[in-house]
Amino acid sequence: MPSFPRSLPAAPNREPDIDDDFSSGLSTQHWVAGYLPHWTTPERARAHYALTPVGVELRIDADQPDWRPEDAPLRVSNLQTGVYSGPIGSALGTHRHRVDLDVRTETPQNLLFAPSRGRVEITLSASRDVNCMVAAWLVGTEHRSPAESGEICVFEIDANTVGEITVARTGIKAHHDPHLSTDMTEVAIPVNASSPHTWTVIWGDGETVIGCEGDVVRRIAQAPDYPLILMIDLFEIGPRGGAYPKSALIHHVRAWHEKQPEEV
């Protein structure tokens, strides 16, 4: 039996640093509406989205270009809480998740929310559209060092796994961080993820806790200890097909930056 409580601890007793239900639009103080724009071009990176009474709808449109021609077929709409890149042609930039990436659009550093430890809660409705996946990641900014590249994968949910019980991938990806080891697994959650539901991640002091609907689904004895940005994504992976637009809804995001002792 696990030695940790099944229920997640209560949220901090203070106002969140982000408390966004998108009712006032898409805040440029919190969000960059583009997926890793430095590795591609602005039009290919640009998020397609619509504001609705229940949140922001990430969309994949029929005419949406692939994120990079080399990665086709792959289209994505994303919100993220920061950007950073080096000069054009360099290998310096946030989330260099493949070795063949180099900077195509120099993007000034703009870290809107990039804690080294904290808590994030994401309420969303996942896509059930053909070839789609929704995901939420906390990824190293890499603005201080390319080694600060680890990722907390809060969830990745393929549309074809969504049902009364939904299967999600969750855990840690080391990428280029020699102090982390990749630890990913699939979890079955008793939730129809196409309806509103909440994922939570709490990290710091060498531990990451991931939960869904108030229950712990993973406790991992490692955590990145450097600035991370939050990324929330809708992907279409594979040939175009089915009805468009394809979509997922982000209803609410709450996030707390827990400061390190030297930051207080």
Q: What is the pLDDT of residues 11-21, one digit of tens each?
A: 999 999 999 99
- Asked whether the predicted pLDDT for residue 130 surpasses 50, the reply is yes
What is the reported pLDDT for 200?
Answer: 98
Q: Do 133 and 246 form a contact (C-beta atoms < 8 A)?
A: no
- DSSP H or E run through 45: helix 42-45
* pLDDT > 50? residue 264: no
Which pLDDT band holds residue 72 (cuts at 50, 70, 90)? Answer: very high
Q: Check: CB of residue 216 under 8 Å from CB of residue 8.
A: yes
Residue 157: Cβ-neighbour burial (10 angstroms; 0-12, 13-18, 19+): buried
pLDDT at residue 16 in the model: 98
Give tens-digit pLDDT for 147-191.
999 999 999 999 999 999 999 999 999 999 999 999 999 999 999
Reply yes or no on whether the pLDDT at 42 is more than 70. yes
Q: How confident is the model at residue 1 (pLDDT cuts 50, 70, 90)?
A: very low
Cα 157 to Cα 197: distance, rounded to the nearest angstrom: 13
pLDDT for the residue 259: 77
Per-residue pLDDT at 211 exceeds 70:
yes
Mean of the pLDDT values across residues 19-42?
Answer: 97
Do the Cβ atoms of 142 and 88 come closer than 8 Å?
no
> Which of 180, 131, 178 minimizes the C-alpha distance to 151?
180
- What's the pLDDT score for residue 2? 43
**Stated length of the chain:** 264
CATH number for 18-258 (one of 3.40.50.720, 2.60.120.200, 2.160.10.10, 3.10.50.40): it is: 2.60.120.200
| d(C-alpha 175, C-alpha 102), whole Å | 16
Please compute the mean of the pLDDT values over residues 127-147 and round it to a whole number.
Answer: 98
Q: Which two tokens stand for residue 59?
A: 């969309």
Q: What is the pLDDT of residue 263?
A: 54
Average pLDDT over residues 69-80: 97
**pLDDT higher than 70, residue 262:** no
Sign of the CA dihedral running 158, 244, 237, 227:
negative
Query: Would you list the domain boundaries of the chain?
Result: 18-258
Distance of alpha carbon 44 from alpha carbon 216, whole angstroms? 36
Residue 138 has pLDDT above 60, yes or no: yes
Q: Residue 252: helix, strand or coil by DSSP?
A: strand
Q: Which of 4-13, 18-27, 166-175, 206-215 has the lowest mean pLDDT?
A: 4-13
| Mean pLDDT, all residues of the chain | 96
